[in-house]
Amino acid sequence: MSDNVISINGVEHDAESLSDQQRYFIGQIKDLETKVNSLKFQLDQVQVAHQVFVNQLIQSVEPANEEAELTQ
């Protein structure tokens, strides 16, 4: 076997013995895994930014609530 061995369901396959279609599927899977990881990274960033804006909104209305309570 060559150094390029691929494990599918626990069975090792020599990449050179795979058909063009099977190598195409592997390429698609690798590309999709990269995209999934990139989207997870972006989602983490968006969730943190979202929470910052939520916190800033809450903070911006708290002084108004405190002032309203003091005047009553």
Higher pLDDT, 42 or 62: 42
Q: Is pLDDT of 8 > 90? A: yes
| Cβ atoms of 8 and 22 closer than 8 Å | no
Which domain, by its residues, includes 18?
5-71
- With a cut of 70, say whether residue 67 has pLDDT above it: no
Residues 55 and 62: their CA atoms lie apart, in Å, by: 11
What's the mean per-residue pLDDT of the chain? 91
Give the predicted TM-score (pTM) of the model.
0.69
**How many CB atoms lie under 10 A from the CB of residue 8?**
11
Confidence at residue 48, expressed as pLDDT on a 0 to 100 scale? 98
Domains held by the chain: number: 1
Give pLDDT, residue 14: 95
